[in-house]
């Protein structure tokens, strides 16, 4: 049988970095084909090449046996390729129908009707007249998929589609994808989640460090086999948590109500939680449910009015009204989700990035920066946390995602906080660095520190947390103890099913 | 003629230079680019247009040449910010300074010379109404600027081009990902904005005040920039803002002629003071600014 | 073969030095073409612009006299620009500085004492800072764009100056010219080099350069401004207040411009006139960028810009070049420099042509 899509020897470099090296790939008609690889292995780049967003440096591409070289997404679409991006390519200030009309020809009314019809047919219901900024992340994904389907593609590419879904919604998405496959649409499914691939896909191509390391039938292999192909060795074991009785309350949030003045943001209501010394508390939830807002309020990037200063307390003292620098002075440290531009200044050296949060630790004398102390502290961070870099004068923007995350984690841990708050600790980080970061967090917990983690990766939270909360629509669930709570129960909180039941 | 009649009949003509430049800038900003060089582009094109008319080329040719001159100078800005990814604020200021310099340079031999403007065309019927009749007696360029306003309003309201410009301004990366040619679209917007500023300058120097004097644009480009913010990036509101400023500049003349007991310098500062005041009031509504502002405004785009 | 700009891992120091020099060469070459078009001999004009002012001490001292205010204002503005606070209203702040400083000799025309000119300098800095406080308030509290507000206030400042010179501050013995009384001796800045007009305000500018260097390269406050300019969200994460950066940037820039204005009326002019500024406030924006927003670079760019001003005067006499030509050259300089600046962060790489189906 002639493959639908066939790549041979495809390579792509960005500057000095090889993103794809000599990739061979064959996608058959009527198949769900997985591209498996960890963060930074080159999956997203490969998809951009197929979709014409980028052009390969070398190699050939065949579509139904015919040699092609898509130079733009429009050309790829005209071949019959559709793509659902991981970070959606939707426009918040436009309606669903307007978003779709950007690449699908047709009158508005006719488009709206087709959106409804296709939505019913494939379980992707969404209101065509709704503004995209008012939609949940799951609904936005449906819009992206619908937009592709309206062009009647033969190949649909989905980049990490399950990372924005609750466990229950994942099964629903899989149903949709299987239905599509049965109607003759091949699926290219990109993921780093082994169990999902085994459940859904009939072929899997595995990438590691820009190269293909295997092509297998995922149903015939164990997760451990796939992992070995993906990372080149066995999955590292998690560090066991020592049994501890939680100590004093280091963070207390009591009845936090907060109205967002950003019309595209989320407001919070009735948030109540605490974190004690010697425990890791997780906050789960689908992104866009108030995580960023809650993080900014706990970190002090957003302050509460003086009147409600008592709503957030750290170490027993009111903190809600204090700014980020003042909170940091009293044993609090925070690692934000965006590394470049928030956790670190890309154009500044690592040494100057150390100063960002460690300035109160003897690096300033009479208003002037002590360059020697700054360099010494930076060197210590680099050494203690195994940051691969040329030295303290390297620019933060030149580091890989994993190394920069290790640097930022290290910088914050060296502040010796009693309470450490980490948002998305391993986003976009390779497995080696991710494991190192999780080990650090568990080691700190074992040493009696209080740790709060926000993560979209449920597996990660289950691995390291003592208990967790779920954030949905700006509401926080009660504390759910681990490992007694199942992923299914957490999932119900994530989609708000639990809340609705409780409200009745 | 009463003061009200005077202001009503002259308001649109006074507003036209603001309006044309602001409409052009509106399209540029909607695509995510901030061009601060309007003042210089207007001045440069105004000088060129004046020369064309003075040399006997007529107004049609002058407006065309001014549009091309404005677009060309704007494209220098376009190359800086799109190809070389220069800071848009600095590049806009550079073009502004260059345009003002070129304007005085090429206009020097024509200092204080005069030409004839354009005849007024009356809308039959409406123009004979009492008091408001003067509103319907305008020159051809004013009528065209009203048509341009409607066309741009319609473009953003109902066409795919308008939708695409808005999409690029909100999120150029997403637009690139679905295959919109971000850089080409922005380049076209910048050229269009330059052409509109060019025509605005031409109107000021060959119709509204058909006389060449160095520095005759006198801050109109900056007020046009402010109008885009006042209008919170909406065509209709930009139009009303331009009319307000047209009326304001006529009110200033009326007040001076009537010998109002205020220093003339205060009256001359009025447009700027009003701008500062309105800017403060509109900007302080952060929620509304966030709803309407162009998300990627001023950010360089690279893939 | 096509060329593409690829981001460098590190800022290139070499490109940072070459960019302004290349910009100067390209701007002069383009200007030469322009000069030829308007019928001015390009060689003579270029010589008059760049070389003649250096020929003798007399004209060199005039270059230094022009350089003083440009240097002072540009150092102040550059601090704000690096914090991404765009104060483009230094012209107005300079005028207000000149007005505030003039208040002393205007209201006390016969006062004598060593304290008079120092008090005028303090008043000047205060006046500039107060004028800049308006956009600071507008931006920090009302969220209004400081670019537009500072510019509008410059236009208002011109009208304030006109009002004073045509009204209450007009010299009664001045034949109805719009100018104040001539200042008394003690209101004048001491001359630095005897026989020239260079006064001690040139030293203020040098001290300001040193202070700006320490502030931006070594001080923690300067570092906070830099972070706010490079990555506003990182500044928020670190807890550096944005409103503080706004106030600091505008007040520093305003005070520097106001001081420069005071030094103009108490120096080469000796009274308050309409022509108190010949566009220093706008030219200083170019000076700041051309110097790479770096205190040392600004030292060179302010000299170059002053050279162009004085050279423009001599080119008018010797080569018949219109005064406006200097502004054109300035604009071209900045245009080419901004293009060249790109190569500090990017390098040009040849790539395979992008593909259509083969």
Each residue of A42-54: pLDDT tens digit?
888 899 899 988 8
Instruction: Tally Cβ neighbours within 10 Å of residue A406.
Output: 25
From chain A, the residues in CB contact with C225 under 8 A are none
What local confidence, expressed as pLDDT, does residue A504 receive?
A: 43
| Token output for A445 | 């917990």
Q: Is residue B124 part of a domain?
A: no
Would the CA dihedral through C87, C88, C89, C94 be positive or negative?
A: positive
Element (H or E) spanning A36, and its range? strand A32-36
CB B272 within 8 A of CB B221: no
Domain assignment present for residue C228? The answer is yes
Encoded tokens for C276: 């108190």
Task: Work out the number of other CB atoms within 10 angstroms of the CB of residue A238.
Answer: 14
The boundaries of the domain holding residue C176 are 66-299
* H or E stretch at C81: helix C57-82
What SS3 class is residue A257?
strand
**CATH classification of the domain holding B98:** 1.10.3470
Contact yes or no for A72 and B171 at CB 8 A: no
Q: How far is CA C294 from the centre of its chain?
A: 13
Q: Hunting for tokens 């500024």 — which residue is that?
A: C277
Paired residues of A219 in beta bridges: none
Q: How confident is the model at residue A374 (pLDDT cuts 50, 70, 90)?
A: very high
Query: Rounded to the nearest 10 degrees, how much is the dihedral formed by the CA atoms of C162, C166, C170, C172?
Result: 170
| DSSP bridge pairs for A469 | A283
Question: A494: which 2 tokens?
Answer: 């994530």
DSSP string, A311-367: GEEETTEE-TT--HHHHHTTTEEEE-S-TBTTTB-TTSBHHHHHHHHHTTTTTEETT
For residue C171, being part of any structural domain is answered with yes
Q: What are the DSSP E strand ranges found in chain C?
A: 2-7, 346-351
Please report the pLDDT score of residue A297 as a whole number.
Answer: 95
- Judge whether C280 and C69 are in contact, CB under 8 Å: yes
pLDDT in tens, B227-275: 999 899 999 999 999 999 999 888 888 887 777 777 888 888 999 999 9
Helices B220-230 and C146-166 cross at an angle (nearest 10°) of: 140
CB contact under 8 A, B276 and C332: no
Same CATH topology for A5-231 and A249-331+417-503: the answer is yes
Shortest alpha-carbon distance between residue A89 and chain B (Å): 4
- Residue B31 within a domain: yes
Backbone φ and ψ for A340, nearest 5 degrees, come out as -85, 125
B266–C327 C-beta distance less than 8 A: no
What is the per-residue DSSP string for B53-119?
Answer: HHTT-HHHHHHHHHHHHHHHHHHHHHIIIIIS---HHHHHHHHHHHHHHHHHHHHGGGTT-B-----
Asked whether residue B302 is assigned to any structural domain, the reply reads no
Whether A335 shows a pLDDT value over 50: the answer reads yes
A window 356-395, beta carbon within 8 A of C: 356-357, 359, 364, 367-369, 395
Q: What is the pLDDT of residue A499?
A: 61
Report CA-CA distances (Å) from A447 to A118, A407, A440: 55, 21, 10
Flag whether C260 is in a domain. Answer: yes
* Residue labelled with tokens 């969200």: C233
Calculated CA dihedral for residues B27, B29, B31, B36, nearest 10 degrees: 110
Size of interface B-C (CB pairs under 8 A): 142
Q: Which of C227, C354, C357 sits opposite A345 (nearest CB)?
A: C227
Q: Beta strand A419-423 with A450-454: parallel, antiparallel or unpaired?
A: parallel
> Do B43 and B99 meet the contact criterion of CB atoms below 8 Å apart?
yes
Q: What backbone phi and psi angles, to 5 degrees, belong to C355?
A: -105, 135
Nearest to A93 among B164, B166, B180 (CB): B166
* Chain A partners within 8 Å of C12 (Cβ): none
Helix (H) or strand (E) holding B274: helix B264-283
The pLDDT score that the predictor gives to residue C1 is 57
- Measuring CA to CA, how many Å separate A166 from each of A119, A161, A496, B282, C5? 20, 11, 10, 41, 41
The secondary structure of B143-210 as a DSSP string is HHHHHHHHHHHHHHHH-HHHHHHHHHHH-HHHHHHTT--HHHHHHHHHHHHHHHHHHHHHHIIIIIS-
Chain C neighbors of A301, CB-CB under 8 A: 236-237, 239
* Chain A residue numbers touching B295 (CB-CB < 8 A): 93
- Cβ–Cβ under 8 Å, residues A96 and A128: yes
Whether residues C356 and A71 touch (CB distance < 8 A) is answered with yes
Partners of C221 on chain A (C-beta within 8 Å) are 367
CB contact under 8 A, A325 and C240: yes
**What is the per-residue burial (b if ≥16 Cβ within 10 Å, else e) of A303-341?**
bbeeebbebbbbbeebbbbbbbbebbeebbbbbbbbbbb
- Name the residue in chain C with its Cα closest to that of A325: C239
Listing DSSP states for A166-223 in one string gives -HHHHHHHHHHHHHHHHTT-EEEEEES-HHHHHHH-SEEEEEETTEEEEEE-GGGS-H
Q: Name chain B contacts of A93, Cβ cutoff 8 Å.
A: 166, 170, 295
Structure tokens at B113: 């010379």
Q: Please give the biggest Cα pair distance in chain A.
A: 76
Per-residue pLDDT of chain C (358 residues; tens, 9 = 90+): 567 777 777 778 888 888 999 999 999 999 999 999 888 899 999 999 999 999 999 999 999 999 999 999 999 999 999 999 999 999 999 999 999 999 999 999 999 999 999 999 999 999 999 999 999 999 999 999 999 999 999 999 999 999 999 989 998 888 888 999 999 999 999 999 999 999 999 999 999 999 999 999 999 999 999 999 999 999 999 999 999 999 999 999 999 999 999 999 999 999 999 989 888 999 999 999 999 999 999 999 999 999 999 999 889 888 888 888 899 999 999 999 999 988 888 888 776 554 443 3
- B211 class by beta-carbon count within 10 Å (0-12 exposed, 13-18 middle, 19+ buried): middle
CA angle (A162, A165, A169) in 5-degree steps: 100
In C, which residues are within 8 Å of B266 by CB distance?
Answer: 159, 163
For residues A424-449, give the mean pLDDT.
89
pLDDT at B166: 95
Q: CA-CA distance, C12 to C32, in Å (whole number)?
A: 30
Confidence label for A172 from pLDDT (cuts 50, 70 and 90) = confident
Q: Is the pLDDT of residue B160 over 80?
A: yes
In a domain, C213, yes or no: yes
Length reported for chain C: 358
Contacts of A311 (CB under 8 A, 6+ apart): A253, A254, A255, A256, A304, A320
Instruction: Domain A5-231: give its CATH architecture.
Output: 3-Layer(aba) Sandwich (3.40)
Interface subset of A 100-119, CB within 8 angstroms of B: 101-103
| B28 vs B294: CA distance, rounded Å | 11
Count of domains in chain B?
1
Angle between helix axes B3-30 and B38-54 (nearest 10 degrees) is 120
Residues of the domain holding B275: 3-118+134-292
Which residue of chain B has the CA closest to C279? B97
Topology (CATH) of A249-331+417-503: Rossmann fold (3.40.50)
What pTM does this model have?
Answer: 0.92
- Asked if residue C51 belongs to a domain, the reply is no
User: pLDDT at position C338, please?
Assistant: 94
Report the alpha-carbon distance of residue A408 to residue B112 in Å, rounded: 65
Q: What are the structure tokens assigned to A78, written together?
A: 């005209």
The number of domains in chain C is 1
Q: Do A301 and C236 touch (CB under 8 A)?
A: yes
Other CB atoms within 10 Å distance of the CB of residue A127: 17
Q: Domain-by-domain residue ranges, chain A?
A: 5-231, 249-331+417-503
Q: What distance in Å separates the CA atoms of residue B68 and residue C235, rounded to the nearest whole number? A: 43
C-beta separation of B260 from B36 below 8 A: no
Residue A204 backbone dihedrals phi, psi, to 5 degrees: -145, 130
Is residue A469 very low, low, confident or very high in pLDDT (cuts 50, 70, 90)?
very high
Of C156, C338, C341, which is closest to B273 when you measure between CB atoms?
C156
Q: With a cut of 50, say whether residue A253 has pLDDT above it.
A: yes
- pLDDT, tens digit (0-9, with 9 covering 90-100), for B49-97: 999 999 999 999 999 999 999 999 999 999 999 999 999 999 999 999 9
Measured in angstroms, the CA of B266 and the nearest CA of chain A are apart by: 38
Q: Does C50 fall in a domain? A: no
């Amino acid at each position: 049988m002639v493959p639908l899509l066939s790549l041979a020897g495809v390579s792509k470099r960005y500057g000095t970095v090889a993103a794809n090296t000599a990739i061979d790939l064959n996608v058959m008609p009527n198949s769900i084909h997985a591209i498996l690889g960890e963060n930074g292995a080159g999956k997203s780049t490969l998809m951009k090449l197929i979709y014409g967003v980028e052009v390969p440096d070398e190699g050939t591409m065949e579509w139904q046996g015919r040699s092609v070289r898509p130079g733009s997404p429009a050309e790829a679409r005209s071949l019959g390729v559709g793509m659902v991006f991981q970070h959606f390519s939707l426009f918040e200030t436009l309606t669903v129908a307007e978003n779709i009309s950007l690449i699908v020809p047709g009158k508005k009314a006719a488009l709206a009707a087709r959106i409804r019809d296709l939505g019913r047919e494939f379980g992707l219901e969404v209101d065509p007249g709704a503004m995209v900024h008012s939609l949940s992340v799951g609904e936005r994904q449906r819009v992206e998929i619908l937009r592709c389907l309206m062009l009647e593609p033969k190949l649909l590419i989905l980049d990490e589609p399950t990372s924005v879904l609750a466990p229950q919604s994942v099964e629903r998405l899989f149903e949709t994808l299987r239905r599509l496959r049965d109607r003759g649409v091949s699926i290219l499914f990109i993921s780093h989640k082994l169990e999902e691939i085994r459940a859904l896909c009939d072929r899997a191509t595995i990438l590691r460090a820009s190269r293909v390391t295997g092509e297998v039938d995922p149903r015939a292999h164990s997760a451990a086999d796939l992992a070995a192909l993906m990372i080149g060795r066995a999955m590292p074991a998690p560090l066991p948590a020592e049994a501890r009785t939680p100590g004093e309350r280091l963070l207390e949030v009591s009845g936090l109500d907060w109205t967002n003045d950003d019309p595209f943001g989320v407001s919070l209501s009735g948030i109540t939680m605490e974190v004690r010394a010697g425990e890791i508390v997780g906050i789960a939830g689908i992104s866009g449910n108030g995580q960023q807002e809650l993080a900014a309020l706990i970190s002090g990037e957003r302050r509460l009015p003086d009147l409600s200063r008592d709503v957030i307390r750290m170490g027993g003292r009111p903190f809600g009204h204090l700014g980020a620098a003042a909170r940091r002075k009293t044993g609090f440290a925070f690692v934000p989700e965006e590394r470049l531009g928030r956790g670190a200044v890309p154009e500044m050296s690592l040494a100057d990035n150390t100063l960002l949060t460690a300035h109160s630790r003897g690096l300033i004398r009479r208003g002037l920066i002590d360059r020697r102390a700054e360099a010494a502290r930076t060197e210590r961070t680099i050494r203690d946390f195994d940051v691969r870099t040329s030295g303290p004068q390297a620019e933060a923007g030149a580091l890989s995602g994993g190394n920069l995350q290790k640097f930022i984690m290290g910088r914050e841990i060296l502040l010796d906080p009693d309470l450490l708050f980490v948002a998305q600790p391993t986003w976009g980080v390779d497995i080696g660095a991710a494991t190192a970061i999780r080990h650090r967090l568990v080691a700190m917990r074992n040493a009696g520190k209080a740790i709060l983690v926000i993560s979209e990766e449920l597996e990660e939270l289950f691995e390291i947390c003592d208990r967790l909360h779920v954030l949905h629509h700006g509401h926080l669930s009660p504390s759910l103890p681990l490992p007694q709570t199942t992923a299914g129960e957490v999932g119900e909180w994530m989609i708000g099913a639990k809340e609705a039941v409780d409200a009745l | 003629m009463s003061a009200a009649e005077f202001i009503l009949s002259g308001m649109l003509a006074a507003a036209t230079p603001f309006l044309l430049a602001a409409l052009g800038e509106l399209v540029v900003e909607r695509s995510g680019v901030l061009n601060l060089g309007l003042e210089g582009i207007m001045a440069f094109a105004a000088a060129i247009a004046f020369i064309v008319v003075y040399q006997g080329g007529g107004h049609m040719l002058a407006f065309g040449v001014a549009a091309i001159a404005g677009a060309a100078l704007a494209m220098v800005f376009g190359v800086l910010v799109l190809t070389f990814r220069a800071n848009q604020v600095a590049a806009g200021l550079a073009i502004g300074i260059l345009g003002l310099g070129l304007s005085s340079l090429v206009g020097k031999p024509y200092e204080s010379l005069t030409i004839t403007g354009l005849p007024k065309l009356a809308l039959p019927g409406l123009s004979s109404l009492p008091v408001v009749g003067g509103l319907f007696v305008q020159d051809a360029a004013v009528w065209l600027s009203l048509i341009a306003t409607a066309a741009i309003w319609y473009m953003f309201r109902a066409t795919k081009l308008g939708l695409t410009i808005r999409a690029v301004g909100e999120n150029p990366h997403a637009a690139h990902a679905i295959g919109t040619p971000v850089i080409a679209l922005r380049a076209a917007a910048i050229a269009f904005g330059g052409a509109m500023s060019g025509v605005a300058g031409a109107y000021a120097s060959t119709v509204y005040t058909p006389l060449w004097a160095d520095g005759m644009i006198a801050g109109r480009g900056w007020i046009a920039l402010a109008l885009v913010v006042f209008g919170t990036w909406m065509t209709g509101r930009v139009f009303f803002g331009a009319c307000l400023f047209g009326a304001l500049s006529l009110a200033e003349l009326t007040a001076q002629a009537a010998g109002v007991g205020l220093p003339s310098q205060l009256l001359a500062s009025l447009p700027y003071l009003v701008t500062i005041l309105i800017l403060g009031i509109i900007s302080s509504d952060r929620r509304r600014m966030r709803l309407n502002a162009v998300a990627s405004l001023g950010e360089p785009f690279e893939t | 073969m096509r060329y593409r700009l690829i981001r460098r891992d590190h800022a290139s120091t070499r490109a940072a030095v070459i960019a302004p020099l290349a910009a100067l060469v390209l701007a002069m070459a383009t200007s030469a073409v322009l000069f030829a078009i308007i019928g001015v001999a390009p060689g003579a004009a270029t010589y008059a612009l760049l070389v003649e002012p250096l020929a003798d001490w007399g004209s060199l001292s005039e270059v230094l006299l022009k350089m003083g205010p440009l240097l002072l204002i540009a150092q102040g503005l550059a601090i704000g620009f690096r914090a991404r606070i765009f104060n483009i209203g230094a012209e107005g702040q300079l005028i207000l500085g000149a007005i505030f400083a003039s208040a002393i000799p205007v209201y006390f025309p016969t006062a004598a004492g060593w304290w008079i000119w120092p008090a005028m300098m303090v008043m000047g800095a205060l006046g500039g800072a107060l004028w800049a406080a308006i956009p600071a308030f507008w931006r920090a509290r009302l969220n209004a764009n400081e670019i537009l507000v500072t510019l509008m206030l410059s236009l208002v400042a011109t009208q304030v100056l006109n009002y004073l010179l045509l009204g209450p501050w007009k010299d009664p013995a001045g034949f109805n010219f719009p100018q104040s009384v001539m200042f008394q001796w003690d209101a004048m800045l001491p001359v630095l080099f005897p026989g020239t007009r260079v006064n001690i305000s040139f030293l203020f500018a040098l001290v300001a350069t040193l202070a700006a260097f320490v502030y931006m390269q070594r001080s923690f406050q300067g570092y906070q401004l830099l972070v706010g300019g490079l990555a506003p969200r990182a500044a928020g994460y670190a807890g550096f207040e944005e409103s503080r950066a706004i106030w600091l940037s505008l007040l520093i820039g305003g005070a520097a411009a106001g001081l420069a204005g005071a030094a103009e009326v108490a120096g080469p002019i000796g009274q308050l006139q309409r022509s108190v500024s010949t566009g220093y406030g706008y030219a200083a924006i170019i000076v700041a960028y051309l110097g790479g927003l770096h205190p040392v670079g600004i030292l060179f760019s302010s000299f170059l810009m002053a050279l162009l001003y004085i050279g423009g005067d001599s080119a008018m006499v010797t080569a018949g070049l219109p005064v406006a030509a200097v502004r054109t050259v300035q604009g071209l300089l900045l245009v080419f420099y901004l293009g060249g600046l790109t190569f500090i962060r990017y390098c040009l790489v040849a790539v395979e042509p992008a593909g259509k189906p083969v």
